[in-house]
Amino acid sequence: MDYRAGPSSYYLPDGQVHTLDFEPAGAAVAPVFSAEGLVAAIRGAQAGAIKHQEFKRLSRAAQAKRRGSAAAT
């Protein structure tokens, strides 16, 4: 999923690739990357605790916490 431009590509086991165009999401992509935030979103999706829309929201919002301060918004 390209969160800035909107398209999403699906890679099939037989090598085919299907790309669907979507409107970019209204929520902004976090200005700073957070591996921890993205890992938490992935694990939630793998466990079935969150659905696709929530995964997209959490992964867009993944942002790094700076030492001694809260996460940037």
Q: Residue 55: CB partners within 8 Å, gap ≥ 6?
A: 41, 42, 44, 45
Q: 9-50: per-residue pLDDT in tens?
A: 889 999 999 998 877 666 667 778 888 888 999 999 999 999
Ramachandran area for residue 36 (φ above 0: left; ψ -120 to 50: alpha; else beta):
alpha
Helix axes 35-46, 52-61, angle to 10 degrees: 170
Q: What's this model's pTM, rounded to 2 decimal places?
A: 0.56
Name the residue type at position 29: V
- The residue ranking higher by pLDDT, 41 or 69, is 41
Residue 57, classed as helix, strand or coil, is helix
Res 71 pLDDT > 60:
no
pLDDT tens-digit map of 45-68: 999 999 988 888 888 888 644 433
